[in-house]
A = this chain, B = another copy of it.
């Protein structure tokens, strides 16, 4: 192994420097040291949920960063992003499981070339379009949500919000044995896509009550997943589940307060609410599931789902700062946005 390229490389990283302000900063990426790899990015995914909260400055400023690749803080500036797919450029000594050219996924901010500990780079399957590797992050989140959801074969699941995570959760719950997967989203285009991808039913918020009554014969759904980031949807989820049903909150509301009516069905129906956050897994699974097994399972799922359909926009990395303005103003038009990177270095010099 060892470095094949040797020299420092110039890199470009995207930073949020103030609320609603994205700009590039240059950095120099040294050759990989022992146990490190350098990665050239092919694609990185923009998260419509958390990432846009960060971009807008709606995250508590003193929240600690929960990935080692993030830099700065939520009071700005911050280098953010957590889903990059690329190829290994070169490897440091002691790196046995990766070679130059290998396709990898890394939880890393948007940046065209970067250096990370080799153990944080996940080898993607050879038969997978490496660009689809960017879905590994959201699919890991979705799998964790499903592992936190007490769904049994033949039960009815309701998912609020058909952004990328909500849609992936819907697909995984179907794989996990849901008899009926009903999704709700105010945007018709998203409902259409969810149905095409495998949901059984889709409706807008206005029709929801009627549909639930029809589908469940008035009983309510067995589990509801809130993945829209809207407090109103959380109320809808609470009211939609059957007696002793469970609501799993997969959204992060940032600093937005959520106002709930808990005196009705929540009370009489003995509803359960739990937060699913990807940093930890269901403790009941812990003796048998670690991070590696979870990611390994995700890699197997990447090839089973029709993920390409979920990419609504491919934007050259150079245009990223302007892209955020658009994403912020017209969230309804996008599903998965990815930044694409020119492969300047692929094999040549750099």
Question: Contact residues of A with B, CB < 8 Å?
Answer: 59-60, 63, 66, 143, 146-148, 150, 152-155, 172, 175-177, 179, 219, 222, 234, 242-245, 249, 252-264, 266-277, 279-280, 282-288, 297, 300-301
How many angstroms between the C-alpha atoms of A271 and B271 in the bound complex?
14
Whether B179 pairs with A153 at a CB distance below 8 angstroms is no
Interfacial chain B residues near A297, Cβ < 8 Å: 153-154, 179
Known: A175-B177, A263-B252, A297-B179. A274 touches B275 (CB 8 A): no
Interfacial chain B residues near A249, Cβ < 8 Å: 262, 266-267
What are 19 A-to-B residue pairs whose CB atoms are below 8 Å? A147-B152, A148-B270, A152-B282, A152-B285, A153-B172, A154-B297, A175-B177, A179-B300, A234-B262, A257-B259, A258-B261, A260-B260, A267-B275, A267-B277, A272-B274, A272-B275, A280-B287, A283-B286, A286-B286
Interfacial chain B residues near A176, Cβ < 8 Å: 152-153, 176-177
Whether A270 pairs with B276 at a CB distance below 8 angstroms is yes
Whether B258 pairs with A259 at a CB distance below 8 angstroms is yes
Interfacial chain B residues near A66, Cβ < 8 Å: 268
Interfacial chain B residues near A60, Cβ < 8 Å: 263-264
Known: A143-B153, A172-B153, A279-B268. A219 touches B288 (CB 8 A): yes
Whether B274 pairs with A271 at a CB distance below 8 angstroms is yes
Interfacial chain B residues near A260, Cβ < 8 Å: 257-260
Whether B283 pairs with A244 at a CB distance below 8 angstroms is yes
